[in-house]
Amino acid sequence: MLENQKSHSAEQMKIIEKVWAEMENNQELLIEIMRTLVQFETVSPPARNTIAAQEWVALFLQECGFITESIPFYKGDCLLVGKRKGKNNLAYHNLILNGHMDVATIGDRANWQTSPFHLTFNEGRLYGRGTSDMKAAIASNLWLFKIFHEMGIQLNGEVQFQSVVGEEAGEAGTRTLLENGYKADFAIVNDTTNLAIQGQGGCVTGWITVKSPAVYHDGNRRQMIHAGGGLFAASAIEKMMPIIEGLQKLERHWAVTKKYPGFPDGATTINPAYIQGGTNPAFIAGECHLWITVHFYPNESLEEVQKEIENQVQAVCASDPWLKEHQPMIRWGGRSMIEEQGEIFPPLELDEQHTAFQLLNNCHHQVTQKNPIVEMSPSVNDSGWFSYFGIPAISYGPGELTQAHSNDESVALADVLTFAKTMAAFIIQWCNQKREEE
Ligand SMILES: [Zn+2]
């Protein structure tokens, strides 16, 4: 390391330690921000209830020197991007921090001992809907922006804060932002990882529809299934059966042949999750719709996996005289489970050689004296969209997955503090590192 780089980083370390000391002394503000965020009842579904929360965050960001933009989403929801310009944006690393403002439904209120939308503190844990998933992370980021602002900490590179909605209902909030050209050198999705650095497999839903060109009365059944009946027709429900079997064969083939470190074998599943067909007992079913959920490994592409399933369905059809001439339709994914009954979560591979990955690893170690766990999430979040749009990314945030979506959801305050300190150290170093220094 060169002499000037050394003093450079020593100086940065001094600033980081000052920020950490400030964090130790100013936890009331963190809890206050969390209390406010938890009070907004941003439950999804039904969704369409986040504008007030997003406006509050926008004002908060503006007070910390951010320029904010509100991007329209569904009626009653909007996406928010705040940018804090650096001193030399082009020459230094910039960063996206991404979080979702929507929270899971609370289920039966009677099963809660605590109040879901009123933050409570008990034995080191903060209780309220969204504390683990993921308002504690959003609050921590806002808190550290406030501390940076009040301490007059200027960065060389830009920090972009994305407060999205829709993640809980498979809605394309993050996707919409990235389609609109928001980008950075690196992105951290601060969703629930219990302070592990996580990648993830991909997940896509699809609808398979078998449709007969004509709907027959139940009285025609004999003619379409027995010798000499002479009617070339079929029940759409019965024709879905070989397709489901074909998908099971492919699922088993995947389990036998595919592998990925960090996943148990056979994690690539094709779930026939929901089926709907026919009209009533007086008719032969003219239509049948199968809703499937497909999970795949981080090194597989969405398009590849969809193609494999399409090929399998086609192969099943090729061996059936009726399906051969009445090919099913397949509709993949969708931008919202609520509006389109479809969702996509692309996979995210981890690049452990990436400078930002190593820096975050070091920052976590600086704060906790331990290396973070590096693993594959058993779940999915928006982080895969960054990879899909060519932006290196990881998931890293406080909160436990067992708490996310649960009754009496909570998060450990100590974990929130560790997270905030790690992020502060990361931002100060990453956004003051020159792009060509890599
Ligand atoms: Zn989440």
Q: What is the mean pLDDT of residues 223-250?
A: 98
* pLDDT tens digits for range 417-429: 999 999 999 999 9
Query: In terms of domains, do 167 and 247 share one?
Result: no
Query: In terms of domains, do 64 and 208 share one?
Result: no
Is 408 in the active site?
Answer: no
Indicate whether 210 pLDDT > 70.
yes
Total structural domains in the chain? Answer: 2
Query: In terms of domains, do 139 and 58 share one?
Result: yes
Residue among 77, 158, 167, 400 flagged as catalytic:
167
Query: In terms of domains, do 181 and 316 share one?
Result: no
How close is the Cα of 188 to the center of ligand 1, in Å?
Answer: 13
Domain that holds residue 123: 3-200+348-437
| Spatial distance between the Cα atoms of 80 and 162, rounded to a whole number of angstroms | 6
How close is the Cα of 193 to the center of ligand 1, in Å?
Answer: 9
Banded model confidence at residue 5, pLDDT cuts 50, 70, 90: low
Query: In terms of domains, do 275 and 217 share one?
Result: yes
How close is the Cα of 393 to the center of ligand 1, in Å?
Answer: 16
Q: What is the mean pLDDT of residues 403-418?
A: 96
Residue among 77, 102, 133, 168 flagged as catalytic:
102
Mean per-residue pLDDT over the chain, rounded:
96
Indicate whether 135 pLDDT > 90.
yes
Is 77 in the active site?
Answer: no
Query: In terms of domains, do 67 and 141 share one?
Result: yes
Whole-number pLDDT of residue 7: 65
* pLDDT tens digits for range 25-57: 999 999 999 999 999 999 999 999 999 999 999
Cis previous bond, 378, omega within 30:
no
| Spatial distance between the Cα atoms of 224 and 216, rounded to a whole number of angstroms | 10
Task: Give the end of a domain, one of 328, 344, 360.
Answer: 344
Query: In terms of domains, do 217 and 334 share one?
Result: yes
Whole-number pLDDT of residue 436: 74
Banded model confidence at residue 66, pLDDT cuts 50, 70, 90: very high
Banded model confidence at residue 112, pLDDT cuts 50, 70, 90: very high
Query: In terms of domains, do 184 and 243 share one?
Result: no
Q: Which residues pair with 162 in a beta bridge?
A: 81, 98
Query: In terms of domains, do 161 and 220 share one?
Result: no
Q: What angle do CA 79, 81, 83 make, to 5 degrees?
A: 175
Query: In terms of domains, do 100 and 240 share one?
Result: no
| Spatial distance between the Cα atoms of 308 and 343, rounded to a whole number of angstroms | 18
How close is the Cα of 191 to the center of ligand 1, in Å?
Answer: 5
* pLDDT tens digits for range 152-187: 999 999 999 999 999 999 999 999 999 999 999 999
* pLDDT tens digits for range 307-329: 999 999 999 999 999 999 999 99
Query: For the whole prediction, is pTM greater than 0.75?
Result: yes
Task: Give the end of a domain, one of 344, 372, 401.
Answer: 344
How many Cα atoms within 13 Å fall on the side-chain side of residue 80? 26
How close is the Cα of 347 to the center of ligand 1, in Å?
Answer: 15
How close is the Cα of 134 to the center of ligand 1, in Å?
Answer: 6
Indicate whether 344 pLDDT > 90.
yes
Indicate whether 433 pLDDT > 90.
yes
Whole-number pLDDT of residue 9: 86
| Spatial distance between the Cα atoms of 196 and 215, rounded to a whole number of angstroms | 54
Q: What percent of the chain has pLDDT over 90?
A: 97
How close is the Cα of 429 to the center of ligand 1, in Å?
Answer: 26
Do the beta carbons of residue 244 and residue 316 sit within 8 Å? no
Whole-number pLDDT of residue 104: 96
Whole-number pLDDT of residue 437: 55
Query: In terms of domains, do 367 and 248 share one?
Result: no
How close is the Cα of 167 to the center of ligand 1, in Å?
Answer: 7
Query: In terms of domains, do 333 and 370 share one?
Result: no
Task: Give the end of a domain, one of 300, 326, 344.
Answer: 344
